[in-house]
Amino acid sequence: MNSIYHSKLIVGLGNPGRRYQFTRHNVGFEVIDKLIIRLNIKRIVEKHHALVAFGRLSDFDIILAKPLTFVNASGQSVAPIVSEFNLPLTELCVVYDDLNLDLGILRIRRAGSDGGHKGLKSIIHHLDSQDFPRLRVGIGKPADDAISHVLSEFTSEERVVIDESIEKAADALETLITDGIEAAMNKFNMRLNCCPM
């Protein structure tokens, strides 16, 4: 039986610097920023090439991290954070953008391959495991070049959708932390290719 008191690590992927702040590739950062505001977190430090914030939610110690290594080298930051806090990988959740999902769609998974995402590939490599939860946020499929797409900003119409998805992603992570991944998947995994209700 699990103890009453846990630590949870939520890592959001993105690129540092104002140039990338509101690009599609930085959705993970935006979800972390949303949680920092919601949990009224004041303690933020820089360590292991990441901004790391510490807070509480219910009976849980929460560690939020934004790697500053640039997305494709995220594992260089995530692995030492996991090691320092001696966390089992089941207590880690990585939040990142996914161009294979329609704009705003959320997908939570317990484990799996990198799906072509270089940031996740780096984390899997440095942890030597793909057995950790992740939350994918759909950013829409590129018309042509994938790199230009992920480094572009959302249109004003898309921004409305993605802002709502960031709120829902924060909701999903709070549910994952307090009620477990099964509850979060059941509540927040949105079905693809379905008509609006």
Q: Which residues are catalytic?
A: 25
Give the SS3 label for residue 142.
coil
Beta strands 60-67; 6-12: pairing state: parallel
Q: What sign for the dihedral angle of Cα 74, 37, 138, 22?
A: negative
Contact 96, 28 (CB under 8 A): yes
41/43 Cα distance (integer angstroms):
6
